[in-house]
A and B are shown apart, each in its own frame.
Chain A
Amino acid sequence: DSGVTQTPKHLITATGQRVTLRCSPRSGDLSVYWYQQSLDQGLQFLIQYYNGEERAKGNILERFSAQQFPDLHSELNLSSLELGDSALYFCASSVEAGLAGEATEQFFGPGTRLTVL
């Protein structure tokens, strides 16, 4: 158990709908990262938050948005869903955002499997 929790574990919805994925980082971790794992794209970084502020953005679609709340939990909002959005969405957390010359292990949650029908 990594200490990172994600809800829900599974989500089945229809095209055009909107869903919210929730993540609670490990106690004490300030950074939250969202990754998408799909068969055709592999594991891709979406977005990072550090202590409530957006820190880095990857290949995140405009239909997707995220935020980190004062209690450090994070939500990933996916709207106008398409079939191609079906994927496993991971949240990860680490103690701090990386500094040059240092690396911080990221702890992954169990993921939310999203199926868009």
Chain B
Amino acid sequence: AQKITQTQPGMFVQEKEAVTLDCTYDTSDQSYGLFWYKQPSSGEMIFLIYQGSYDEQNATEGRYSLNFQKARKSANLVISASQLGDSAMYFCAMREPYNTDKLIFGTGTRLQVFP
């Protein structure tokens, strides 16, 4: 069965520094999608970045980039130049590929950015 693992319950980073949030996944499917969402303390889920299993280039969206290592089944999120507003929970998720966009979520990593 598909599974997402986030081993870092919490991370600290200083403002303006880069931080990497880890995500590994398990699937026997050849086709899948990987997502990162941010959940601030207000509760909403904000889409950050997407990587398709067939994409050869790592996805980037502004200060967010996804370090996709298919052979290792990892999809780490890199946030460059951290800002105080980046403090939030971050969830890695995988899409089940056949006939549905159901997302399977990891347990999340709480990131705290300090001045």
Interface residues on B, range: 20 to 34
Q: Could you tell me if B101 and A33 are in contact, using CB atoms closer than 8 angstroms?
A: yes
Q: Is the CB of B104 within 8 A of A45?
A: yes
Check B95–A98 contact: CB distance below 8 A: yes
State which of B93, B97, B104 has its C-beta within 8 Å of the C-beta of A98.
B97
Give bound CA distance, A44 to B107, whole Å: 10
Bound form: Cα–Cα A88–B99 in Å:
26
Task: Determine if B43 and A98 form an interchain contact, defined as CB atoms under 8 angstroms apart.
Answer: no
Q: Cα distance A87–B98 when bound, in Å?
A: 28
B54 to chain A, nearest CB (A): 7
Q: Contact between A56 and B47 (Cβ–Cβ < 8 Å)? A: no
- Measured between beta carbons, the chain A residues less than 8 angstroms from B52 are 103
How distant is A105 from chain B, measured CB to nearest CB, in Å? 6
The number of chain A residues with a CB under 8 A from chain B is 31
Q: Which residues of chain B are within 8 angstroms of A25 by Cβ–Cβ distance?
A: none
Is residue A74 within 8 Å, beta carbon to beta carbon, of the partner chain? no
**Given A33-B101, A33-B102, A98-B99, are A105 and B50 neighbors across the interface (CB < 8 Å)?**
yes
Q: Across the interface, do B97 and A106 meet the contact criterion of CB distance under 8 Å?
A: no
A111, B37: Cα distance in complex, Å: 14
Whether a CB of chain A sits under 8 angstroms from the CB of B45 is yes
A86 lies within 8 A of chain B by Cβ: no
Are B101 and A48 in contact, CB atoms less than 8 angstroms apart? yes
Residue from B97, B100, B103, B105 in contact with A101 in the complex, judged by beta carbons closer than 8 Å: B97
A selection of 30 A-B contacts at a CB cut-off of 8 Å is: A33-B101, A42-B105, A42-B107, A43-B93, A43-B108, A48-B101, A55-B99, A56-B100, A94-B101, A97-B99, A97-B100, A97-B101, A98-B95, A98-B96, A98-B98, A98-B100, A100-B97, A100-B98, A103-B52, A103-B97, A103-B101, A105-B50, A106-B35, A106-B101, A107-B47, A108-B47, A109-B44, A110-B44, A111-B43, A111-B45
